[in-house]
């Protein structure tokens, strides 16, 4: 059996996230169906992450086993021909048999984009959060640094998701907030992320900007683990899985 | 009667162009319905141009008469609240009574965007033509200059549109082809454009790049006026109305 490692990018607007669901179209389903047709067999794709509905990926890795002899360049070409315009295969290679897109990853980087302009962007309304109010990226960059390090992120996790977890301790490697013109980017890397963790951290930073939370509240929420000490879960359409570290 | 001058931007993907049609959703219809509801009257919007289905606008001007006393900032705010995410009002002001968005315009600038990358852009498949083959922007910039000046552009007009025209002579002010990373931009300004003229000129330049036409064919097509001497009509989704000159 070959073990194929594939990197894809996708615009998540039309999909209910990565993971197969019974009643919704997901990226996993399209990838498995597409690879299955090309290799003439049943494919199970292991993704590096579950992404929520509406979340995008600039780099998303998956692996899948197959007995097909199709060379990787041909597989990639055939997949790009068959997949819709909002999913692209960026690379495709044979990997070691024990490579697993999720368990082999050392960490990930996410980016959250905010369109901090006076007018909405008619060409990217699904690709960034439109937020026409003042945002002080320097202050937010300082506040974002409070998340860096090994902490219990229980306050930054969707309530229902917590019950199934052994631990809510994670390590954030870096967290920066930068501006380029009207676009404010929140870039965070870490060894792993809880469900909604990035969206709640960014939402908390927006609350700091609005005076609804302070830097002291961030520190307290990391102590108490209380979801209510953190801020709002910001909408999914500004979020991108940006890099996966192997 | 007040005469209101409005500048909008729109993503044309979802619309059958500007002009009202019986069986399709158009931008004019949404603008007129929206302004009519806010001003509590029937509105006729005069657009600066007809754009084809799928074509975008970064700047599109219209004017409309109304007896409503609503101040322009309030009208703009209300319109932006009511319009969908892919149409935005950028400015709104009272104009002279004889201002007409189409007849007062001295000229226009269009931009055609080509994504000249190895992989399709999953975040902009409706916003640029995906073209993964070699494009020499310097040669094309030279060829584009052949269009500059006053010429009979009969060869660069949709056949059915020609019958209704008094003349197919137009003046192209400037035409440049530039590259920024993977994006190749065709930027053309002129006093007026025939139906499909920009799309046929850009399609002809792509044909020059592919060796299906030469610079000499461009010169000949401007002499003969024969549509078949020019190149293909390139798809609409890379085209933007970029500026209108008053």
CB of A42 within 8 Å of a chain B CB? The answer is no
Please say which residue of B95, B122, B147 terminates a domain.
B95
Q: Cβ of A123 and B56 within 8 Å?
A: yes
Q: Cβ of A86 and B125 within 8 Å?
A: yes
Helices (H) and strands (E) in chain A, counts: 6, 10
pTM of the model: 0.90
Determine, yes or no, domain membership for B33. yes
Q: What is the mean pLDDT of residues B47-59?
A: 94
Determine, yes or no, domain membership for A101. no
**Do A115 and A37 fall within a single domain?**
no
Residues of B in contact with A126 (CB under 8 A): 85
CB of A117 within 8 Å of a chain B CB? The answer is no
Beta carbons of B153 and B168 less than 8 angstroms apart: yes
**Do A122 and A222 fall within a single domain?**
yes
Active site residues of A: 52
Determine, yes or no, domain membership for B206. yes
**Do B45 and B152 fall within a single domain?**
no
**Do B75 and B117 fall within a single domain?**
no
pLDDT mean across residues, chain B: 95
**Do A82 and A124 fall within a single domain?**
no
Q: Which residue has the tokens 């454009």?
A: B193
Beta carbons of B116 and B136 less than 8 angstroms apart: no
pLDDT in tens, B124-135: 999 999 999 999
Residues of B in contact with A10 (CB under 8 A): 122
What's the rounded Cα separation, in Å, for the pair B110 and A171? Answer: 49
Q: Quote the pLDDT of residue A67.
A: 95
For A76, the 3-state DSSP assignment is helix
Q: Which residue has the tokens 């020499």?
A: B136
The CATH number assigned to the domain holding B71 equals 3.30.70.580
Determine, yes or no, domain membership for A62. yes
**Do B138 and B231 fall within a single domain?**
yes
Q: Quote the pLDDT of residue A106.
A: 95
Q: Cβ of A122 and B86 within 8 Å?
A: yes
pLDDT mean across residues, chain A: 95
Grade residue B214 by pLDDT with cuts at 50, 70 and 90.
very high
Q: Quote the pLDDT of residue B163.
A: 79
pLDDT in tens, B20-41: 998 899 999 999 999 999 999 9
Chain B's closest residue to A13, CA to CA, is B123
The yes-or-no verdict on residue A163 having pLDDT over 90 is no
Residue B72: which domain range?
2-95
CB of A119 within 8 Å of a chain B CB? The answer is yes
Q: Quote the pLDDT of residue B98.
A: 96
Q: Cβ of B11 and A88 within 8 Å?
A: no
CA distance to partner chain A, nearest, from residue B90 (Å):
7
CA distance to partner chain B, nearest, from residue A119 (Å):
7
Determine, yes or no, domain membership for B52. yes
CB of B80 within 8 Å of a chain A CB? The answer is yes
Grade residue A97 by pLDDT with cuts at 50, 70 and 90.
very high
- Mutation pick from B54, B123, B239 vs chain A, by most beta carbons of A within 10 Å, is B123
**Do A91 and A211 fall within a single domain?**
no
**Do B133 and B196 fall within a single domain?**
yes
Please say which residue of B74, B95, B116 terminates a domain.
B95
- Mutation pick from A122, A125, A127, A130 vs chain B, by most beta carbons of B within 10 Å, is A122
Determine, yes or no, domain membership for B101. no
**Do A135 and A61 fall within a single domain?**
no
Q: H/E element holding B169?
A: strand B169-180
Pick from A12, A243, A208: which is nearest to A109 by CA? A243
Pick from A156, A221, A223, A230: which is nearest to A194 by CA? A156
pLDDT in tens, B163-196: 788 999 999 999 999 999 999 999 999 999 999 9
Report which DSSP code applies to A146.
G
Q: How far is CA B3 from the centre of its chain?
A: 24
Determine, yes or no, domain membership for B196. yes
**Do B35 and B128 fall within a single domain?**
no
Calculate what percentage of chain A has a pLDDT beyond 70.
100
CB of B69 within 8 Å of a chain A CB? The answer is no
Helices (H) and strands (E) in chain B, counts: 6, 10
Structural domains in chain A (count): 2
Grade residue A162 by pLDDT with cuts at 50, 70 and 90.
confident
For A179, the 3-state DSSP assignment is strand
C-alpha distances in angstroms, B207 versus A12, A102, B41, B109, B198? 34, 46, 50, 22, 14
ipTM summary value: 0.88
**Do A86 and A124 fall within a single domain?**
no
The CATH number assigned to the domain holding B214 equals 3.30.70.660
Please say which residue of B36, B66, B95 terminates a domain.
B95
Q: Quote the pLDDT of residue A244.
A: 97
**Do A41 and A162 fall within a single domain?**
no
Q: Quote the pLDDT of residue B240.
A: 98
Determine, yes or no, domain membership for A100. no
Q: Cβ of A10 and B122 within 8 Å?
A: yes
Look up residue A37 and give its two tokens: 């047709």
Q: Cβ of A87 and B122 within 8 Å?
A: yes
């Amino acid at each position: 059996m070959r073990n194929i490692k594939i990197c894809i990018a996708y615009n998540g607007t039309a999909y209910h996230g990565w993971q197969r669901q019974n009643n919704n179209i997901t990226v996993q389903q399209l990838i498995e169906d597409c690879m299955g047709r090309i290799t003439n067999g049943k494919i199970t794709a292991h993704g590096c992450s579950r992404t929520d509905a509406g979340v995008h990926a600039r780099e998303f890795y998956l692996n899948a086993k197959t007995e097909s002899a199709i060379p990787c360049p041909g597989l990639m070409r055939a997949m790009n021909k068959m997949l819709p315009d909002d999913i692209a295969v960026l690379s495709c290679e044979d990997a070691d048999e024990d490579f697993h897109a999720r368990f082999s990853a050392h960490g990930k980087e996410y980016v959250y984009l905010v369109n901090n302009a006076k007018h909405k962007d008619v060409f990217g309304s699904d690709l960034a959060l439109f937020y026409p109010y003042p945002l002080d990226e320097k202050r937010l960059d300082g506040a974002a640094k409070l998340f860096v390090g090994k902490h219990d992120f229980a306050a930054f996790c969707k309530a229902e998701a917590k019950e199934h977890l052994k631990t809510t301790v994670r390590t954030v490697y870096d967290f920066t907030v930068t501006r380029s013109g009207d676009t404010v980017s929140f870039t965070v890397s870490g060894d792993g992320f809880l469900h909604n963790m990035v969206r709640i951290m960014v939402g908390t930073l927006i609350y700091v900007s609005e005076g609804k939370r302070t830097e002291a509240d961030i520190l307290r929420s990391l102590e108490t683990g209380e979801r209510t000490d953190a801020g709002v879960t910001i909408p999914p359409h500004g979020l991108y899985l940006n890099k996966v570290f192997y």
